[in-house]
Amino acid sequence: MPEPSPQAITAFIQRWQSSGAAERANYQLFLAELCDVLGVEHPHPTTPDEAQNACVFKKASPLPHGAYAQG
């Protein structure tokens, strides 16, 4: 995987440093753009099959009694 360019990193930081701390509103776009800068794959859509949800934005977490909580 090639290293991200200094210009791409600087542009990403400049774009997001003034986001106003709106984490819940911006997290998916931020992470997608971060993936682009780093040259890695974006998260996948969540499916009903938990075995297929290794890289998703919201993953269910097993609870001690065997049920799942949506995270």
Q: Decide if 55 is inside a domain.
A: no
Q: Decide if 56 is inside a domain.
A: no
Residue range of the domain that includes 15: 1-41
Question: Tokens standing for 8?
Answer: 């791409």
Q: Decide if 48 is inside a domain.
A: no
**% of residues, the chain, pLDDT over 70:** 90
Q: Decide if 49 is inside a domain.
A: no
pTM of the model: 0.71
Summarize pLDDT for 39-53 with one digit per residue, the tens.
999 999 988 888 888
Q: Decide if 13 is inside a domain.
A: yes
Q: Is the pLDDT of residue 71 over 70?
A: no
Q: How confident is the model at residue 60 (pLDDT cuts 50, 70, 90)?
A: confident
Question: Tokens standing for 61?
Answer: 């977490």
Q: What domain count does the chain have? A: 1
pLDDT given at position 65: 74
As beta bridge partners, residue 61 has: 69
Q: Decide if 31 is inside a domain.
A: yes
What beta strand segments (E) does 1-71 contain?
60-62, 68-70
